[in-house]
Structure 1
Amino acid sequence: MSVPDTVIGKVMAILHAFAADDADLPLAELVRRTGLHKATAHRLCGELVTARLLDRTPDGYRLSGGLFELGMRASAERGLLEIAMPFLQDLYERSRESVHLGVLDGSEVLYLTKIGGHRQASAPSRTGGRMPLHCTGIGKALLAHGSTATRERVLAGPLPRRTPKTIAAPGILSRALDTVREKGVAFEFEESTPGIACVAAPVLDVDSNELIAAISVTGPVHRFRPQQHVDAVRAAAAGIAATLNRRRP
């Protein structure tokens, strides 16, 4: 791994070295993952602790609550989340399955929130996490209604096959996205993770019809029937869009 040239680059390398499932990381592991010199990593980790971006623990370092605090100041995402939450909670009460709100970020879904109870499906999605666009219901809803440039970039590949049912052929995926755009709803049947199904709908600007976000409901295939939740998901997406439009300065 190449060592970043700037201080900011080195700091970002340290912060991004923490994976989703990591709690504490020893300094040696941070050095291994970042490629930084041990003395440099030690000095920068100390400064990040002072800045409340890392916490020092008996086993090394962990991401600090200061990062969460900064993340919650991201005005656009925070405003969207505050407006969407009542609709998402209502959707959860209706479905009793996992409910997501996600936005397009590069060639991935960035999940702003995930609501799920004791019956939630064992999906790999998580708040603040990312998933590929081409194999998730919410990702296909975003991709179908996003820019032509994003769609062309994703279709140009690669399209990793996460399960035997992942659509990995650009032509087939392109036709599927045309259907999603026409119907206003996207489905997933075990394309990202075995055993789960999903229905998703885009949140579109009321005036311009431009993409803002997407929402989805996900459940296990043995009990969840996505088609039965199409109207509820569409209604929630439309409600979020209408509320955003009313509250626009």
Structure 2
Amino acid sequence: MSSSGGRRAPSVTGRVFSILEAFDGDHRALSLTEIARAADLPVSTAHRLVGELAAWGALERGADGAYRVGLRLWEVGSLAPRSVGLRERAMPILEDLYEAVRQNVQLAVRDGHEVVYVERLAHPDAVRLFSRVGGRWPLHPTAVGQVLLAHAPAAVQESVLAERLPSFTPRTVTDPVALRRILAAVRRDGVAVCDGMIDLAALSVAAPVRGEDDSVIAALSVVVPSPSDGGSGGGGIEPRTLVPAVRAAARGISRALGAPTAARSDAVTRRGGTRP
């Protein structure tokens, strides 16, 4: 069935997706009219579809009349295979790292040209975080994103570098030549450091997490106050002090996931050698 303009009308499934896409970190509660506007649907159509989504549990209507994402949708989303096994194996190590550094700890995967955060432990006294579990950010201004981009297929890297990259602070690296150098350093050093690229007050250190075939499937980071932030009152943390702990935690998760290089590294250590 085509519209009068010759374009194919969106399917029912497409309309449902457009309703769900209306919700994000800045729009957690929406009225029916706001949903219809964001999804580009007639209010009558939105009313019918939102009612069906609410009956199934994908949306919930609050006492204020606004709709929010329902627990049923969260339950289904939590079964995504890339996050389930990863989070289960990573959590004990994330908790140990959190207790050791008493700072923010994050675990993320790549989806296309974006980072998706699958776990986050936020310390109440640490620097504020702009991320959230299930939230997305571009790859280039985050330490986890730089790790994931550095180990992404060449076609993905070239596609990202060819885009017009958004800047969030004066320190955000958006020049493709400079970013290419950063990615090469991440591959060489096995760690990424982003200082003030999303928030001038925050610095993040990230390392790669490898899966059974040794490919990089996720990235782990610690987010701390930046020593470069003039308003930190001298409370910033030097990244070199965090690198060993972040690397060790990422290697521990990799080992739990069956990564061969992580197992070999531990075997060298047990024989009295040193880790690379």
Using the size of structure 2 for normalisation, the TM-score is 0.85
2:144·2:206 contact (CA, 8 Å) conserved in 1?
Answer: yes
* Matched residue, 1:230: 243
Tell me: higher relative CO, structure 1 or 2? Use CA pairs within 8 A at least 6 residues apart: 1
* Matched residue, 2:130: 124
2:210·2:257 contact (CA, 8 Å) conserved in 1?
Answer: no
* Matched residue, 2:83: 77
Give CA deviations for 1:128-169 in whole Å, capped at 9, x if unaligned: 101111111111011111111111111111111111001111
* Matched residue, 1:10: 15
Do the aligned partners of residues 95 and 3 (structure 1) sit closer, same or farther apart at CA in structure 2, a change above 3 Å counting?
Answer: farther
Do the aligned partners of residues 39 and 196 (structure 1) sit closer, same or farther apart at CA in structure 2, a change above 3 Å counting?
Answer: same
| SS of aligned partner of 2:126 | coil
How far apart are the structure 2 equivalents of 1:218 and 1:83? 21
Q: Does 1:243 align with 2:249?
A: no
Report how many aligned residue pairs link the two structures: 244
* Matched residue, 2:141: 135
**Runs of at least 5 residues in structure 1 that lack an aligned partner in the other structure:** none
Q: Does 1:113 align with 2:119?
A: yes
Q: Does 1:182 align with 2:195?
A: no
1:146·1:210 contact (CA, 8 Å) conserved in 2?
Answer: no
2:202·2:224 contact (CA, 8 Å) conserved in 1?
Answer: yes
* Matched residue, 2:199: 193
Do the aligned partners of residues 204 and 23 (structure 1) sit closer, same or farther apart at CA in structure 2, a change above 3 Å counting?
Answer: closer
Which deviates the most, 119-128 or 16-25? 16-25
How far apart are the structure 2 equivalents of 1:13 and 1:211? 32
How far apart are the structure 2 equivalents of 1:81 and 1:68? 15
2:103·2:223 contact (CA, 8 Å) conserved in 1?
Answer: yes
Q: Does 1:158 align with 2:171?
A: no
Which deviates the most, 3-12 or 44-53? 3-12
Do the aligned partners of residues 105 and 121 (structure 1) sit closer, same or farther apart at CA in structure 2, a change above 3 Å counting?
Answer: same
- Superposition deviation, residue 4 in structure 1: 6.2
2:143·2:205 contact (CA, 8 Å) conserved in 1?
Answer: yes
Calculate percent identity across the aligned residue pairs. 43
- Superposition deviation, residue 55 in structure 1: 1.1
1:54·1:63 contact (CA, 8 Å) conserved in 2?
Answer: yes
Q: Does 1:41 align with 2:46?
A: yes
Please tell me the root mean square deviation across aligned C-alpha atoms, in Å: 1.6
Using the size of structure 1 for normalisation, the TM-score is 0.94
| SS of aligned partner of 2:125 | coil
* Matched residue, 1:88: 94
How far apart are the structure 2 equivalents of 1:76 and 1:172? 31
Do the aligned partners of residues 114 and 210 (structure 1) sit closer, same or farther apart at CA in structure 2, a change above 3 Å counting?
Answer: same
The residue type paired with residue 241 of structure 2 is: Q
* Matched residue, 1:32: 37
How far apart are the structure 1 equivalents of 2:244 and 2:14? 46
